[in-house]
Amino acid sequence: MKRVLVATAGGDCPGLNAVIRAIVKRASHESDWEIIGSIQAFNGILWEPTEIKILDEETVSGIHFQGGTIIETTNKGGPFAWPIKDKNGKYTTVDRSEEMIRKLMYMGVDAVINIGGDGSQQISQALYEKGLNIIGVPKTIDNDLSATDTTFGYQTAVQIATDAVDKLVTTAASHNRVFILEAMGRDAGWIALNAAVAGGAEICLIPEIPYDIDKVLEKINERFVRDRGFTIIVIAEGAKAIGKDSSKEKNDEVGYANVKLSGAASRLVEELKQAGIKHDMRKAVLGHIQRGGVPIAYDRVLATQFGVKAFELVLEGKFGEMVSYRHPNIISVPFKDAISKPHFVTKDSDLMKSARGVGISFGD
Ligand code: F6P
């Protein structure tokens, strides 16, 4: 019997369960493979006692449309930075990667499939360099990986954000208000940009293009005639005014290495007040609603393709690679290429040109 360990790491994302199901279903066509899941990324292996879940056809039956991940996830810690308390009661980290690889050997794990974003695939690369047979599956709602055309979960997030714009349009128009919708996107503004285009927003503010508040106000004012009118602004959580930093919040969660972004929409309200806005404003923050719930069909299909491909890479022994979508093919790329370059919105991209073409202002 050969054994594959599956882990879901980093923030959850609609489609994770469809990947897990596809791995298990594809493996069931081979006679001697067992799939197990590590609970909360690699924590399940690093914990004592070990926490794993047997992933058989019964366990994964019908999970393709469920949000979240049946094996849980975490974006804290990990084998290279395991948090421990030092003698002064302060948290520090230790490298437990060697110990984890030894434990996986002892457990009879022949290969690992790590489903995660750029941070998780950096861990995959480091584990691969230490000799672990590991395959990566890209996961991010932010769509910020350049080694794949797109990732599952992203289109679901765009749909959720677009639905929110559609709902805000009717209330904004009824009240003659400026509405600010804060979408996710810490460094990449893809969700905000797509929701702005799909929803017909007037202004879109993204991390890649710092905004000039006077230009934002100018665009808002164009939309009002004698105080009648409305404006929809979609702002990514990582957006910032020229010369300013993005809005952050302190986070004391042990082992949390990310910067916690929060307050982009509130800050924009204040900046517009200071710039002299005369119209009423309201804001809505979508937050994790964009990561929850049922994946749309597109993401389920892509997730299924990724899961099948990941298991086939295991069969081929093509370790050190991450599954990738290059239209129309599902291919694989070495981890080091997968993590070398993020995928950001660029001013000269066709989508930006189309967005400007329909009159969307980026405040620049
Ligand atoms: O990377 C995906 C993402 O959803 C970002 O857009 C967001 O900033 C971050 O995760 C939030 O993560 P957490 O679950 O830690 O709050």
CATH code for the domain in which residue 45 is found:
3.40.50.450
Please check whether residues 184 and 111 belong to one and the same domain: no
- Is 356 inside any structural domain? no
Measured from CB, residues less than 6 Å from any atom of ligand 1 are 11, 75, 140-142, 184-186, 237, 258, 261, 291
Q: Which residues make Cβ contacts (< 8 Å) with residue 353, sequence separation at least 6?
A: none
Residue 121 has a pLDDT of 96
Nearest Cα residue to atom 12 of ligand 1: 11
Residue 354 has a pLDDT of 98
pLDDT > 70 in the chain, percent = 100
**332 pLDDT more than 90:** yes
Rounded distance, CA 342 to CA 236, Å? 17
Please check whether residues 37 and 145 belong to one and the same domain: yes
Query: pLDDT tens, 107-144?
Result: 999 999 999 999 999 999 999 999 999 999 999 999 99
Please check whether residues 186 and 98 belong to one and the same domain: no
Stretch 217-244: mean pLDDT, rounded? Answer: 97
Q: Please spell the DSSP secondary structure of 118-177, one letter per residue.
A: HHHHHHHHHHHHTT--EEEEE--TT--BTTSS--TTHHHHHHHHHHHHHHHHHHHHHHT-
Please check whether residues 45 and 31 belong to one and the same domain: yes
- Is 351 inside any structural domain? no
- Is 47 inside any structural domain? yes
Q: How high does pLDDT run on average in the chain?
A: 96
Stretch 7-22: mean pLDDT, rounded? Answer: 97
**275 pLDDT more than 90:** yes
Among 13, 75, 248, 343, which is best to mutate for testing ligand 1, by the most ligand atoms less than 8 A from CB? 75
Of 53, 65, 55, whose CA–CA distance to 26 is shortest?
A: 55
Residue 357 CA, ligand 1 centroid: distance in Å: 30
- Is 85 inside any structural domain? yes
Asked, as a colleague might, if the bond just before 49 is cis with ω within 30 of 0, I would say: yes
Find where tokens 């997968």 sit. 338
Confidence of residue 256 (pLDDT cuts 50, 70, 90): confident
Residue 252 has a pLDDT of 82
**258 pLDDT more than 90:** no
**340 pLDDT more than 90:** no
Q: Which residues make Cβ contacts (< 8 Å) with residue 314, sequence separation at least 6?
A: 4, 110, 111, 113, 133, 135
Please check whether residues 162 and 133 belong to one and the same domain: no
Residue 140 has a pLDDT of 94
Residue 227 bears catalytic tag: no
Please check whether residues 14 and 94 belong to one and the same domain: yes
Among 122, 141, 190, which is best to mutate for testing ligand 1, by the most ligand atoms less than 8 A from CB? 141
Residue 321 has a pLDDT of 98
Residue 257 has a pLDDT of 77
Residue 147 CA, ligand 1 centroid: distance in Å: 20
* Residue from 12, 118, 142, 187 carrying the catalytic annotation: 142
Question: What does the CA dihedral 38, 39, 42, 47 come to, rounded to 10 degrees?
Answer: -110
- Is 77 inside any structural domain? yes
Stretch 193-222: mean pLDDT, rounded? Answer: 98
Q: How many separate domains does the chain show?
A: 2
Please state the atom number of ligand 1 nearest to the C-alpha of residue 290: 4
Rounded distance, CA 109 to CA 252, Å? 35
Whether the CB-CB separation of 2 and 110 falls below 8 Å is answered with: yes
What is the enclosing helix (H) or strand (E) of 245? none
- Is 17 inside any structural domain? yes
- Is 357 inside any structural domain? no
Look at 256 and 156; give whichever has higher pLDDT: 156
Residue 207's domain is classified under what CATH number?
A: 3.40.50.460
Please check whether residues 162 and 268 belong to one and the same domain: yes
Whether the CB-CB separation of 300 and 115 falls below 8 Å is answered with: no
Whether the CB-CB separation of 345 and 191 falls below 8 Å is answered with: no
Nearest Cα residue to atom 13 of ligand 1: 11
Rounded distance, CA 221 to CA 278, Å? 9
Beta bridge partners of 114: 7, 136
Please check whether residues 263 and 163 belong to one and the same domain: yes
Tokens read off for 276: 């002299």
Residue 16 has a pLDDT of 98
Residue 288 has a pLDDT of 96
**In which domain, by residue range, is 266 found?**
157-292
Strands (E), the chain: 2-8, 33-38, 52-54, 82-85, 91-94, 111-116, 134-138, 178-183, 203-205, 224-225, 228-229, 231-236, 248-249, 260-261, 281-285, 321-326, 329-334
Please check whether residues 202 and 236 belong to one and the same domain: yes
Rounded distance, CA 188 to CA 301, Å? 24
Residue 209 CA, ligand 1 centroid: distance in Å: 20
Please check whether residues 283 and 302 belong to one and the same domain: no
Residue 255 has a pLDDT of 84
Please check whether residues 11 and 137 belong to one and the same domain: yes
- Is 354 inside any structural domain? no
Beta bridge partners of 182: 235, 285
Whether the CB-CB separation of 184 and 236 falls below 8 Å is answered with: yes
Residue 318 CA, ligand 1 centroid: distance in Å: 30
Please check whether residues 14 and 138 belong to one and the same domain: yes
**249 pLDDT more than 90:** no
Which of 237, 262, 292 terminates a domain? The answer is: 292
At 357 the three-state DSSP class reads helix
Residue 11 CA, ligand 1 centroid: distance in Å: 6
